[in-house]
Every structure is written in structure tokens, then in C-alpha cells.
């Protein structure tokens, strides 16, 4: 076991310094949150007191208005018809004099605008006062995301128009501002940049302190004494020395069943496979590297296989949409394609080659550009093997005799 690493005094002092820095940062954050809550609570108390005073004043004013209404109602009940008509004429003249100074549209627009602004201001003020810190941060985040989504959905022309409008607005605003306003704006921008820089440096400092603390904790954990690996229990199935008595398949010792009948190889005797036939010559020598041309055959084995196939593979190849390793993907059905054989023997391929004799078939295979690099003698040997051993070739021979009789 390697000796346990002991921390030096400098490392201990560094760890203690990092912990003190982290604790100080957390204390400052708690203090800021406490001050904010106290300020918010005081603001809410002032707002509640102000609303209470406003409600009291509203009640006094409503009582006074109610008294005025009762007094006016009593006076109007005592007045006669001539006094009533004179009062209405004076009231109409006063209203006409006031309204003569403004047009109808201006009056309606100004009244609607003032009323809407007042209502919106009161509603927003009430909502903002009632919001908590989390709700305010959530609202700011939603507004920022909504603005980003609106910018993402913009087309190129809309982006150019928006930038031009902003640029023109900025130019007009800066052209209209005075020298004192310009200096004040620059000072404000510089102050904001300094605040952002200080906040970024503080966050980086806090992140470095947290990383250093985590690194120190990792070092301490790595220096602890590890448990002995000899106590760890390993799952071991044993060696692959158990042979099935039926199919001679080799199995692991841990896989031996109680009845000594295996399931993975022959399903306890339910699956009985016939003895495979021996591989014909010269294919067995080519596959076992006992043929002089075995290396060339294995290099072009796909070309040899396609040259002696009975049908072509047809499928809808779907290429991967993105970059990455090659993946052979097929969309839809996979089937073998073969064409009807007839008297036209100019371009024979696949099953057509088994309707003609071996020499003519070898000639067509040798002239095919897809078989470039293949040995013609080896192709003739493989063709002779298929014509002798393959049962499907005999069927094609019988079909050839039938076609010859029909074309006579």
C-alpha cells in the first residue's frame, strides 16, 4: 500500500483560506438578501400606510360628495320650472365654452390616452409591489426568452429593417441630445461597464475558490486508506471446459444445469440440426487458404460472389442525414430482382448466365466492368463447381430446354 500523503502547512493554510473565502462570500450573500428583505418590507409598510391614508381621504371625500349631492337634490326640489330652465341654460353655456376650445377627436384621444395610462400605471405598480424576488426574476427571464424567440423568428429582411430603425433612432437621439446629456450618458455607460466587470471578476473569484475547495476535498478523499481489493467478490463463471454431450458445444462451468442438458445450444434436445454437407472444391481450399489464388480470392470475394449470383439485391438505400461513420441503412422492402430470359443474349447477367454454356458465361463475366481484377480461370472453376453441385443450376438447365422447344 502506498504511504498516505500528508498535507504541508502551506496546503493546509490554502485550504483554510479557501474555506474562509467561501464562508465570507456566503455570509455577504446572506447579508445582502437580509438587507433586501428589510428594505422590501419597509417599502411595503410605507405603501400600505399610504394606501390606508388614501382610503381614509377617499372616504372623507365620498362623504362630502354625498352631502353635496343631498344638498343639490334638496335645492332642485325647491326650485320652480323657470329656475330649472335657467340653471340648465347656464350649465350648457359653460360646457359649450369649455368644449369649444378642443375638437372632438383631440378630446376623445387625450381622454382615452390619459385614462389608459393611469389605469396601466396603477395596475403595473400594484403587480410589481406584490411580486417576490423569484417572481421578478422569472418575469425577467420570460421577457428575455420571448425577445430571443422573436429575434429567432425574424427573417433576414426584418433583421435589416430592425437594425436600420435602431440605428436611425440612435442617430436622431444622439443628434438631439446636448453636450451635458452626452457626457452624462457616457459616464453612466462607463459606470455600468465597471459594475459588470466587477461582478464578473467576483463571480470568477468565487468559482476559483469553489474549485480549489473541491480539489482539496478530492485530494483528501484520494489520500484515505482504500479497502482491500481481495475482499471484493467477483462474479466468475469458471472456465469454458464443459462440453455438451449432444452437439459437443463448449460451455462455461457456471452454466452447467442440474440435469446436464444445455439450453443455449440445442434447447435440451428439442432442436436437432442435420449434419452439414461438405464444402465442395475448390471453394473449401479458397476459404482455408490452401489454394494458390486464395489471397486474390479473399481480396475480391464480393466481386466473385456478385458475378455468380442468381439475382441482384434491390432496396431503397437511405443515407444518414448527418456526418458520421458509414451506416448501411435500408428503407422499405428488400427483394431480389431478376429479368425474364428471352432470345436477346447481348447483355446477360445474374441468372441469365446459367441458361447458356459455361464458356459463354465466363466470357460475359470477364467482359463485365464490375469484375475488374478478378481471375478468369478462377471464375471458370467456380462456375463449373456451381453447375455440378448447385441444385438451382439444374433447374435453369431444364428451363433452357423448355425455352428452346418454344422458340423452335
Per-residue pLDDT of the chain (408 residues; tens, 9 = 90+): 445 556 577 777 777 777 787 778 777 877 887 888 888 888 888 888 888 888 888 888 888 888 887 887 787 777 787 887 888 788 778 777 766 665 555 556 666 777 777 877 777 777 777 777 777 777 777 777 777 777 777 788 888 888 888 888 888 888 888 888 888 888 888 888 888 888 888 888 888 888 888 888 787 777 766 555 455 456 677 888 888 877 788 888 888 887 778 888 878 778 877 887 888 988 999 999 999 999 999 999 999 998 888 888 888 888 777 777 878 888 888 888 877 665 556 677 888 887 778 888 888 888 888 888 888 899 999 999 998 888 888 887 777 666 666 665
The grid coordinates of residue 315 equal: 432496396
The three state secondary structure string of the chain is CCCCCCCCHHHHHHHHHHHHHHHHHHHHHHHHHHHHHHHHHHHHHHHHHHHHHHHHHHHHHHHHHHHHHHHHHHHHHHCCHHHHHHHHHHHHHHHHHHHCCCCHHHHHHHHHHHHHHHHHHHHHHHHHHHCCHHHHHHHHHHHHHHHHHHHHCCCHHHHHHHHHHHHHHHHHHHHHCCHHHHHHHHHHHHHHHHHHHHHHHHHHHHHHHHHHHHHHHHHHHHCCCCCCHHHCCCCCCCCCCEECCCCCCEECHHHCCCCCCCCCCCHHHCCCCCCCCCCCCCHHHHHCCCCCCHHHHHHCHHHHHHHCCCCEEEEEECCCCCCCCCCCCEEEEEEEECCCCCCCCCCCCHHHHHCCCHHHHHHHHHHCHHHCCCCHHHHHHHHHHHHHHCHHHHHHHHHHHHHHHHHC
Nearest partner of 12 among 200, 206, 157, 223, judged by Cα: 223
Instruction: Give pTM, 2 decimals.
Output: 0.37
Q: Output the pLDDT for position 232.
A: 47
Residue carrying the nine cell digits 478462377: 378
Among positive and negative, which fits the CA dihedral 334, 340, 344, 349? Answer: positive
Where do the domains of the chain lie?
Answer: 154-205, 236-276, 283-407
CA distance 7 to 188: 49
CA distance 398 to 400: 5
The full length of the chain comes to 408
Q: Output the pLDDT for position 106.
A: 58
Q: Output the pLDDT for position 297.
A: 92
| Contact criterion met (CB below 8 Å) for 12 and 219 | no
How many other C-beta atoms are found inside a 10 Å radius of the C-beta of residue 365? 23
Q: Output the pLDDT for position 360.
A: 84
Nearest partner of 286 among 387, 385, 394, judged by Cα: 385
How many other C-beta atoms are found inside a 10 Å radius of the C-beta of residue 371? 18
Long-range own/partner contacts, residues 340-348 (CB < 8 A, 24 or more apart): 341/399, 341/403, 343/407
Buried-state track 147-164, b at ≥16 Cβ within 10 A, e below 16: eeeeeeeeeeeeeeeeee
Amino acid at each position: 500500500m502506498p504511504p498516505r500523503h500528508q498535507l504541508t502547512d502551506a496546503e493546509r493554510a490554502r485550504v483554510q483560506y479557501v474555506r474562509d473565502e467561501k464562508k465570507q462570500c456566503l455570509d455577504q450573500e446572506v447579508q445582502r438578501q437580509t438587507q433586501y428583505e428589510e428594505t422590501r418590507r419597509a417599502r411595503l409598510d410605507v405603501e400600505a400606510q399610504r394606501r390606508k391614508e388614501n382610503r381614509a381621504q377617499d372616504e372623507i371625500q365620498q362623504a362630502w360628495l354625498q352631502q353635496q349631492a343631498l344638498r343639490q337634490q334638496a335645492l332642485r326640489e325647491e326650485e320652480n320650472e323657470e329656475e330649472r330652465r335657467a340653471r340648465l341654460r347656464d350649465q350648457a353655456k359653460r360646457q359649450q365654452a369649455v368644449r369649444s376650445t378642443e375638437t372632438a377627436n383631440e378630446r376623445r384621444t387625450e381622454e382615452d390616452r390619459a385614462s389608459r395610462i393611469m389605469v396601466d400605471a396603477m395596475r403595473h405598480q400594484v403587480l410589481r409591489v406584490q411580486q417576490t424576488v423569484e417572481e421578478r426574476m422569472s418575469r425577467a427571464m420570460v421577457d428575455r426568452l420571448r425577445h430571443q424567440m422573436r429575434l429567432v423568428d425574424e427573417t433576414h429582411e426584418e433583421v435589416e429593417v430592425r437594425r436600420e430603425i435602431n440605428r436611425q433612432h440612435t442617430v436622431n437621439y444622439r443628434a438631439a441630445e446636448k453636450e451635458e446629456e452626452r457626457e452624462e450618458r457616457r459616464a453612466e455607460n462607463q459606470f455600468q461597464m465597471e459594475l459588470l466587470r466587477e461582478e464578473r471578476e467576483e463571480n470568477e473569484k468565487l468559482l476559483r475558490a469553489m474549485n480549489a475547495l473541491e480539489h482539496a476535498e478530492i485530494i483528501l478523499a484520494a489520500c484515505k486508506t482504500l479497502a482491500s481489493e481481495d475482499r471484493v467478490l467477483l462474479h466468475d463463471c469458471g472456465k469454458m471446459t464443459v462440453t455438451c454431450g449432444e452437439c459437443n458445444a463448449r460451455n462455461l462451468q457456471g452454466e452447467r444445469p442440474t440435469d446436464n442438458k444445455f439450453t443455449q445450444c440445442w434447447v435440451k434436445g428439442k432442436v436437432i440440426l442435420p449434419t452439414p454437407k461438405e464444402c465442395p472444391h475448390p471453394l473449401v481450399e479458397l476459404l482455408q487458404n490452401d489454394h494458390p489464388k486464395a489471397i486474390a480470392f479473399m481480396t475480391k470475394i464480393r466481386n466473385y460472389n456478385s458475378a455468380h449470383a442468381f439475382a441482384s439485391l434491390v432496396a431503397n438505400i437511405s443515407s444518414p442525414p448527418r456526418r458520421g461513420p458509414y451506416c448501411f441503412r435500408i428503407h422499405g422492402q428488400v427483394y431480389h430482382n431478376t429479368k425474364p430470359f428471352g432470345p436477346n443474349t447481348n447483355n446477360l447477367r445474374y441468372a441469365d448466365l446459367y441458361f447458356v454454356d459455361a464458356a459463354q458465361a465466363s466470357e460475359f463475366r470477364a467482359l463485365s466492368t464490375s469484375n475488374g481484377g478478378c481471375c478468369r480461370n478462377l471464375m471458370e472453376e467456380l462456375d463449373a463447381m456451381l453447375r455440378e453441385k448447385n441444385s438451382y443450376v439444374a433447374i435453369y438447365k431444364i428451363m433452357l430446354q423448355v425455352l428452346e422447344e418454344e422458340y423452335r
